[in-house]
Amino acid sequence: MEIERKFLIKTLPANLEACPCHQIEQAYLCTSPVIRVRRQDDEYILTYKGSGMMVREEYNLPLTREAYSHLLPKADGNILTKKRYVIPLADALKIELDIFEGKFAGLQMAEVEFPDEESANTFLPPDWFGEEVTWNPDYHNSAMSMR
């Protein structure tokens, strides 16, 4: 189960370069249900996501580089590329700050995953977060892939 809230970013946090960073490329074989292939650095993953906005099923399976390369051309729409910075928060939470490249260059979005809905509902975002877009389907990466 994935429990996550999403926010646009007003300003980037200080010392971002000190945080771990991953290069991500992902594409969608299907958007309903969501079936995604992702390369994160040198790791390859096939993901299934169920319906929902803040809470939804999510299953990840490892792929080989060869399988990823075979599936990528079969994807529909845009291939999304982004840099993901991982920023620690209190209570073992972390911010995944995505800085999009390519077609969506300029878009900056943060996601925070939670262990339960209560934690998600009581979360107070940092000052540098902007508008919350958790319930706006336009900001699901799967929807962005089809624009």
Cβ atoms of residues 3 and 116 within 8 Å: yes
Q: 121 φ, ψ to 5°?
A: -70, -25
Q: How far apart are CA 93 and CA 67, in angstroms?
A: 32
Whose structure tokens read 């209570």? 91
Closest CA to 17 of 61, 83, 70: 83
- Does the annotation count 28 as an active-site position? yes
Instruction: Label the pairing between strands 34-40 and 21-31.
Output: antiparallel
Task: Write out the H or E segment, with its range, that includes residue 145.
Answer: helix 141-145
Annotated catalytic residue, options 28, 68, 85, 139: 28
Q: How far apart are CA 4 and CA 54, in angstroms?
A: 5
Active site residues: 28
